[in-house]
Structure 1
Amino acid sequence: MSAPDERDALTPRPSLYDYALHLYRAEPDGRLPEGGYPSPDRPSRPRRPLDRRNARRTAVDAITPFLTDPDTVRAADEVQRRLDELGVRDHHIRWALADLLLRDEAAARALGRRLTRAGTSGVAVCLGLGLLARLGEPEDIPYLRTLGLLRDFTGYAVEALAPLDRAAAALVWLAVHAEDSGLRPLVDALATRDAAATRARLMTISRNPRAMEPETARRIAEAVRLADVLREDPIDIGALAQAAWLLSHMTSRCDYRPEILSYDDAVPAYEAVVARAALLPPTLDHCATLLSLALDLHSGPSHLLPWPPGRREALLADLESLLHSPGWAAVADHEPHDLAERRRAHWIRRTARQPFGHSTADAPRLRVEVAVRDPAGPDVAETRVLIDGRPVVPEAFGPGPGNAPEELLDSGGLRATAEPREVQLAEAYCTEGCCGALYVTVQRDGDHVVWRDWRRTQSGRRGQPELPAYRFDAPAYDAEIARAENDHSWAWPARITARLLAAGLRDRPDLMTRWDTRFGWVGTDYHDPDTTVVSFTFWPGLAKGQRDVDGPWLQFFWSLPDDGTPPEARAAAALTRLETTDPKTFAQVKGGSREDAEALGFPWPEGRD
């Protein structure tokens, strides 16, 4: 045995819980560490490689014999040793936990407690946290909170804490994961249980959707017990406005799941916000927030919350009455000087009627709408499909919104023919290759159109219900798809330009191939929705059909800012320019590699690897 190994064997290592507790006790005034604590360095030991395909079964087989052992101390020591010897990792434990049968819950709970409080390896602590996520009790809360401050275990600890004390779980998450340093005063106030400071800090949170993730909004609401804040009488108007914005931001689809569906107090929070919404002054910001809530109640994830019969419709009716009252309806009638406010005013005008006047009771079998979110946040225009009044994508697929209208409507993708065609309805917020996509096969069958053979790829399957085949009356189906394809009321000038450009390039692909380029997509800029962007790829030899599939290539973006001319004129001018001018001479390189750029004679963008 080497000297370092001998010292490690002879010197007992503290448990990871004791390590975290020691660091936390050194914090001034009980504050929580920003970003959490790193786990202590552990001496590396040679481990037998573990076949990933068998890792789940290996972990289950290693753990199961100890779940009913009455000697908890011995069982904890032995299972830790065995997992370490087998080379089981933390993520293997997460996979295995779903397969563990807990026949003796008391013994399994005791094992989980021993591992979380005395475990010295990460895999042992993860197993303990996983067991307590299923079996934990209030006495476990202090231990879970402390272990959650070790950032390697935050996710496991928060998962175990949430059923026991959701506010505590949210606070631990915010301390470790909050991306905005401006949230630190709120975290400090919550940690020190200063109610007055907490309320004051809640008021100062920036309502910038581009600077806050939707999950952060949910965690803030949970940590401050937002539903309780909304029940106060009289209520602080600033708190009411902040609550409405947090609730609205939770409905964003710019994330891997709709956070509003993970917020346990969503229904009472909605009811309280709508009941007191008339107390808010009729400003552009408040109008946009309330309209966003209505839009999501109508056709977004909020539609799927556990509403009592008729309650969702009643809330929509109340919001309609308020937003269409003279004082509120006048908010978007003027032209603000500020560009961002002007965009929001135009969006309110376009969207003001969309969420209202619909009833689930008399909903058509199929309804297809394009929903555009408040332009104060990232530009998201999604195609929402409602069957029998319920939105399909958030119910059947979690990680992303419905696909853009250009992909589903402008392309004729939802039209039905006798030939079955698989259509992608939604893709994960990241990519399909990462977190999956949702597909359905569309086919005309006599007097009906059938949607069948639903398919989810990757992790898009997790926790989602299986979908049946749906049959639609063919004439009604065709009429609805035609109506949706021709309804451009949702679009703004830059997006209309993009749609016209896309149609022109589909009709005349030679406009791009003549320059050895292939059209990719056209849309609006993520950060500047008033700029149309055309994406294309440069493949040398493409025009002559001699493209080297292994040769260099580059992706270009061509940006067309809104110059005030009608979209039809802008699109026509862009197509005319492509007839005579190589777009590589005026577009910018955005993708590929530095080596390929140098080989093809183009500058590589600064700041990109």
Structure 2
Amino acid sequence: MSARDERTPLTPGASLYDYVLFRRGVDPAAPVPPRGYPVPDGPDGPAEPPPARPRLAWDRVQQEVTAALAGPLADPDPVRAAEAVHRATGLLRLPDRTVRAVATRMPLDDETAARATARLLTRTGTSLGAVGVGVALLIRLGEPEDVPCLKALGLLRGLTRPAAAALDPLDRQAAALLLLTATDRDRTLTPLIDAAAAGSHDEAGDDAGDAAEGDNRPVRDALVALVAAPDWISTVHWQARRVAEAARLDALLRAHPDDAGLVTAAGRLLHAMAAQYNTRADLLDYGPAAEAYRTVARRAGLPGPALDHQALLLSLAQDLDSGAGALLDWPPGEREALLDLLRRHLGTEPPPGPHDRRAAWLARNRTRPFRHPAPHPPLRIEVVAGDPGGHPAVETRILIDGRPLVPALFGSGPAHPPEHLLDTGDLLPGPEPREVQLAEADCTEGCCGALHVTVRRDGDEVVWDGWRGATGPPPPQLRFDAAAYGAEVRRARDDESWAWSARRTARRITAALRQRPQLRARWDLRWIRADTDWQDPDTVKVLFGHRPAPATPPGPGEDPGPGLFFEWRLPDDGRPPEVQAAAAVERLEEADPKTYAAVVGGSRELAESLGYAWPQP
């Protein structure tokens, strides 16, 4: 069924708010459709989209929307103002989300008048554009009395996220439930949503309500079952903060501090919130994070010495030592005290059971987060490898006075791995200032940005300035003693205690290739590097690109033509990494890698014309 077929005609004069209440009232137990209820048609028949306008620059859009809305929103008569907003949003002929984005930030001459108009729009508005303006204004101006209306409007397709943003400062649980409901397409979250909604109260911040919710056994059971599921990472990881807020995790922990299942679930959610994959670490926006860490660290010995539990404790220690957990507002010495608790619960003996990849990771890294006592040095570089049982990313975490730099300055991805920052020598100052990319969004810099800093030498100091891509105010200039700085960069580069065999092999292959640039020209390769496979970390992948030289060289700005991407896989055979790397480089020197590597992407037509097999789907 299409969205158009799902739509219900809007009774003349009926508001979108009344429409949503009607849809929920028809069958309150029925699940909300994916992405919310479709926008209803107008009273005169199906609504047609306004004629498209040429694409406008953002400055021009801001000017037009502000000019159209400023007058009505300053009008002390909310009825007259709401009518004017309805007319203005129709005449602008801009996407509703664009108008909302401007309304959320535009200056207001009279906030009291704007709030009154926003309330009238949200309760009586009949178009998505006008109601959206009201919701956008309540992001700044909303008060507790607006919560019921926002909760209802958030069930309407197109208004879920703005309504949740307006609810966030008023009722975090309501905002979380709204977002989880809209994204629960496979109904995995339904038991938790239903239990939390049944136990919730309309009064935000009521201490009695907190206690009652904290003692809510159905919510506790649904949360523990959700996070204990084998596939919990794929279903919960990206919305861990919202799951914690919907369940009122902080209140549950206060009511059940000795519940081993709940403590484990809390630890897993905290670790998931600390991750930074194309988004700001959710942990930094979770208000009760420090309180939850305290409970988990103090009760960390409850579940016992199993491998899963020890891996969780080590992951939490990595987050507190050098990850987003270090950025929370800790009283002096408390973070170090919690790390010491985790160290004692983790112990020094490996867990019982077979020596698999995860146990090997635990053995390599179990002491690393605990070897940095205060006071913190001006610069520390820590390479952190994540749990192979979760999201095993490798990051080069740069800490300034004990605080991790990238999660504090960049909200679209983690720090680069050591192969990018340390092995290249880019962090070491050269004869001229050098711009270094510290982190990049997974979707590339051109989409969601990257964090850059310029590294230069100034006498006996190394200076970091010229920041690009940081969120918020421009970061300050950083100065380091040159001798200590160089020693720390080289120490971090040479310390491979975090790395497994295949990763060491890949680093040595890449280093050897960097010293042999003639290989690229010899085999007509555009680029070549080695890495470990994300899904099979014990396999080295040698990746390279090839583009045949065209008969006629392209002119400036012309398409250089199609290319191919190749992959040569080298499973770890148990020999020392130095030996495996030397053998791989020797073969690369002796034979064209295009003759034994596999095509993994590029132009299918080019691959077939050159006799290469195209990868099977």
Aligned to 1:586: 596
Aligned to 1:4: none
Aligned to 1:452: 465
Aligned to 1:402: 415
Query: 1:159-238 maps to which residues of 2 (within 5 A)?
Result: 159-178=165-184, 181-193=187-199, 195-205=216-226, 206=229, 208=231, 210-212=233-235, 214-233=237-256, 235-238=258-261
Are 1:66 and 2:72 matched, yes or no? yes
| Contact 2:364 2:498 (8 Å CA) reproduced | yes
TM-score, scaled to structure 1 = 0.90
Counterpart-to-counterpart distance in 2, 1:407 and 1:23: 53
What is the SS of the residue equivalent to 2:487?
Answer: helix
Cα 1:481–1:468 shift into 2, 3 Å: same
Are 1:307 and 2:338 matched, yes or no? no
Query: 1:464-503 maps to which residues of 2 (within 5 A)?
Result: 464-503=472-511
Measured after TM superposition, the shift of residue 570 of structure 1 is 1.9
Aligned to 2:277: 254
Query: 1:280-295 maps to which residues of 2 (within 5 A)?
Result: 280-295=303-318
| Contact 1:450 1:470 (8 Å CA) reproduced | yes
The percentage of aligned residue pairs carrying the same residue is 50
TM-score, scaled to structure 2 = 0.89
Measured after TM superposition, the shift of residue 180 of structure 1 is 5.6
Cα 1:178–1:265 shift into 2, 3 Å: farther
What is the SS of the residue equivalent to 2:426?
Answer: coil
Measured after TM superposition, the shift of residue 430 of structure 1 is 2.4
Alignment-mate amino acid for residue 291 of structure 1 = L
| Contact 2:276 2:407 (8 Å CA) reproduced | no
Are 1:142 and 2:148 matched, yes or no? yes
CA offsets 1:324-360 (integer angstroms, 9 cap, x no match): 2xxxx3244x5626xxxx2221111111111113244
| Contact 1:145 1:172 (8 Å CA) reproduced | yes
Q: Of 340, 343, 354, which residue of structure 2 is paired with 1:336?
A: 354
Aligned to 1:506: 514
Counterpart-to-counterpart distance in 2, 1:409 and 1:524: 17
Counterpart-to-counterpart distance in 2, 1:10 and 1:541: 62
Counterpart-to-counterpart distance in 2, 1:129 and 1:542: 56
What is the SS of the residue equivalent to 1:521?
Answer: strand
Aligned to 2:120: 114
Of 9-18 and 349-358, more deviation after overlay is shown by: 9-18
Are 1:515 and 2:523 matched, yes or no? yes
| Contact 2:241 2:283 (8 Å CA) reproduced | yes
Are 1:46 and 2:47 matched, yes or no? no
What is the SS of the residue equivalent to 2:419?
Answer: helix
Of 189-198 and 302-311, more deviation after overlay is shown by: 189-198
Unaligned runs of 5+ in 1: 1-7
Are 1:551 and 2:561 matched, yes or no? yes
Alignment-mate amino acid for residue 43 of structure 1 = E
What is the SS of the residue equivalent to 1:367?
Answer: strand
Are 1:562 and 2:597 matched, yes or no? no
| Contact 2:9 2:40 (8 Å CA) reproduced | no
Number of aligned positions between the proteins? 585
Cα 1:123–1:601 shift into 2, 3 Å: farther
What is the SS of the residue equivalent to 2:368?
Answer: coil
| Contact 1:555 1:590 (8 Å CA) reproduced | yes
Aligned to 1:348: 362
| Contact 1:539 1:554 (8 Å CA) reproduced | yes
Aligned to 1:268: 291
Unaligned runs of 5+ in 2: 1-7, 42-46, 201-215
What is the SS of the residue equivalent to 1:277?
Answer: coil
Counterpart-to-counterpart distance in 2, 1:513 and 1:210: 44
Measured after TM superposition, the shift of residue 122 of structure 1 is 2.3
Aligned to 1:244: 267
What is the SS of the residue equivalent to 1:322?
Answer: helix
Aligned to 1:151: 157
Are 1:126 and 2:146 matched, yes or no? no
Query: 1:367-446 maps to which residues of 2 (within 5 A)?
Result: 367-446=380-459
Of 437-446 and 15-24, more deviation after overlay is shown by: 15-24
| Contact 2:311 2:387 (8 Å CA) reproduced | yes
Counterpart-to-counterpart distance in 2, 1:373 and 1:455: 27
Measured after TM superposition, the shift of residue 10 of structure 1 is 12
